[in-house]
Amino acid sequence: MYTNLRMKVLLLALLLGACSGPEDSASLGSTRAIKNKGSDTIVNLALAWAESYQDQNPQARISVTGGGSGTGIAALINGTTDIANASRSIKSEEIANAEANGITPVEFVIARDAIAIIVNLHNPVDRLTIPQISDIYSGKINNWSEVGGEDRPIVRLSRETNSGTHIYFLENVLRQGNKEDKTFFSSNTLLLPSSEGISAEIRQNPNAIGYDGLGYVTADIKVIAVARNDSEDYIMPSAETVNNFRYPIARDLYMYTAGEPKGAILLYIEWLLGSDGQSIVSELGFVPILQ
């Protein structure tokens, strides 16, 4: 909620700013706001980038909104955003839709992210294997005592289906990367509309299990160590374990532009891929891309 508010305030400020000087933008040519929309996982990072970039380049204007990866890509396809943020790579049907609209999406990997498995602080369970997590979310395991915890029912929390994190989790954790696997989320999995909704429920409910980008995990939530299977080591997510590929649930984060970026958009993307931009990535708990 807080991030949403901040986002809206910033957006409003940017809109007002953009409205105030039509004559400036005409004379300078490049001060039109760059619209940046999509993944809720990336929205805080995108905001921090936008703020810092605008501090360094006072003439630049960037407006950032969230909504989910699918929302951002849909906006790119419909031509209502310049840059789409996505926590999953673009689907082939989305590329086809974009091309039908005369837009060729161009992909940039802008950071990496670990998906943390999170539980309430009072939950004694501190490690799980991927097959266990898969069984929990598909409904085969229904009580914490089956994975070494207390005798409590498991309440499964997930992001809504428009979230890139949801799809990543479905494909790589629930189905363990097997494309033929047709396992579903158990139908009583709670689908919450925001990351904040998940952390609010985790904070107050000792029965809950959830997943979220590492950048969203706060100190009042417990992170679980994860192993690929029970013969491998249990690893806590961190920048180090993501970059040395030991933590098993990590992914790339993307930005998409409509065609090869030019002008202000190109400058912005080059900046955020450079050392200034990537230092902000690690400040926010994400993992910088390897240079």
186 Cβ neighbours under 8 A, 6+ residues apart: 137, 138, 139, 156
Among 34, 103, 192, 226, binds another protein (CB under 8 A): 192
Among 23, 55, 93, 260, binds another protein (CB under 8 A): 93
Distance CA 86, CA 39 (A): 5
Q: What are 184's two structure tokens?
A: 């579903």
Nearer to another protein, 74 or 227 (CB): 74
Total residues binding another protein (CB under 8 A): 35
Nearer to another protein, 31 or 97 (CB): 97
**DSSP calls for 110-165:** EEEEEEEEEE-TT----EEEHHHHHHHHHTS--BGGGGTS-S-B-EEEEE-TT-HH
Based on the shown chain and the rule CB under 8 A, indicate whether residue 1 belongs to the binding site for another protein: yes
Based on the shown chain and the rule CB under 8 A, indicate whether residue 9 belongs to the binding site for another protein: no
Contact region with another protein (CB under 8 A), list: 64-72, 119-127, 128-136, 264-272: 64-72
Contact region with another protein (CB under 8 A), list: 27-35, 52-60, 179-187, 269-277: 179-187
Query: Shortest Cβ distance from residue 145 to another protein (Å)?
Result: 14
Based on the shown chain and the rule CB under 8 A, indicate whether residue 155 belongs to the binding site for another protein: yes
User: Pick from 42, 218, 194: which is nearest to 118 by CA?
Assistant: 218
Distance CA 255, CA 272 (A): 11
Based on the shown chain and the rule CB under 8 A, indicate whether residue 207 belongs to the binding site for another protein: yes
Query: 264 near 227, Cβ under 8 Å?
Result: no
Contact region with another protein (CB under 8 A), list: 46-54, 188-196, 214-222, 273-281: 188-196
User: Which residues share a beta bridge with 209?
Assistant: 119, 156
3-state secondary structure of 175: coil
From residue 153, alpha-carbon distances to 38, 126, 156, 209 in Å are 34, 17, 10, 11
Query: Shortest Cβ distance from residue 266 to another protein (Å)?
Result: 27
By the criterion CB under 8 A, which residues form the site for another protein? 1, 67-68, 70-71, 74, 77-78, 93-94, 97, 152-155, 160-162, 167, 184-185, 187-193, 197, 200-201, 204-205, 207-208
